[in-house]
């Protein structure tokens, strides 16, 4: 499961949360092995809508990855009417390979860091704590982020 709170909604100040708070929602999330832009462009051509692609090299996180991954998509989002899903290129440890079953996830977004932290902790009970796949909810340049595979094998 992937969790994010936008940068603007991390504040604990109630006056700031009123202005920037987004409702928590769940979005299908796909993981690709270097062809995220191609796949998401295909889906946009089929479904219409607006596609946003962000390359790793365009973000402050590029320093955390080798240069050969800077052209990969760190975040893609397609919105078309009631259809809304996100995707990324595989950024996991080289020892963890993409295969059928680990390339889809539930993506929980919105709300504040504190709201997501409560959900994260509840859903992570019994989760696989493998350090290759478990990332505690914490702040990143784009907002708060955490991930894990739950006790049922769902990312």
pLDDT tens figures, 4-14: 665 443 444 34
| pLDDT class of 49 with cuts at 50, 70, 90 | very high
CA 84/CA 120 separation, integer angstroms: 22
Per-residue confidence (pLDDT) for residue 84, from 0 to 100: 87
- Extents of the domains making up the chain: 2-12+22-147
Is the pLDDT at 16 greater than 50, yes or no? no
Higher pLDDT among residues 33 and 73, named by residue: 73
The dihedrals phi and psi of 80, each to the nearest 5 degrees, come to -150, 100
Fold of 2-12+22-147: 2,3-Dihydroxybiphenyl 1,2-Dioxygenase; domain 1 (3.10.180)
- pLDDT for 134-149, tens place per residue? 889 888 777 788 888 8
- On the question of pLDDT at 52 being above 90, the answer is yes
**Three-class SS of residue 93?**
coil
The conformation of residue 142, written as its DSSP 8-state character, comes to: T
64/108: higher pLDDT:
64
Question: If you search the block for the tokens 């595989």, which residue do you land on?
Answer: 90
Rounded distance, CA 114 to CA 51, Å? 29
């Amino acid at each position: 499961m992937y969790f994010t709170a936008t940068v603007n909604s991390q504040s604990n100040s109630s006056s700031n949360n009123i202005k920037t708070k987004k409702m928590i929602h769940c979005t299908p999330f796909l993981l690709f092995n270097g062809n995220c832009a191609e796949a998401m462009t295909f889906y946009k051509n089929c479904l219409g809508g607006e596609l946003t692609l962000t390359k790793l090299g365009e973000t402050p996180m590029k320093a955390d990855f080798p240069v050969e991954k800077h052209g990969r998509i760190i975040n893609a989002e397609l919105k078309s009417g009631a259809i809304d899903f996100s995707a990324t290129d595989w950024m996991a440890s080289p020892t963890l390979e993409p295969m059928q079953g680990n390339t889809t996830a539930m993506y929980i977004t919105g709300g504040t860091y504190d709201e997501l932290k409560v959900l994260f902790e509840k859903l992570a009970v019994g989760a696989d704590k493998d350090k290759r796949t478990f990332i505690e909810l914490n702040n990143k340049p784009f907002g708060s982020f955490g991930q894990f595979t739950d006790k049922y094998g769902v990312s």
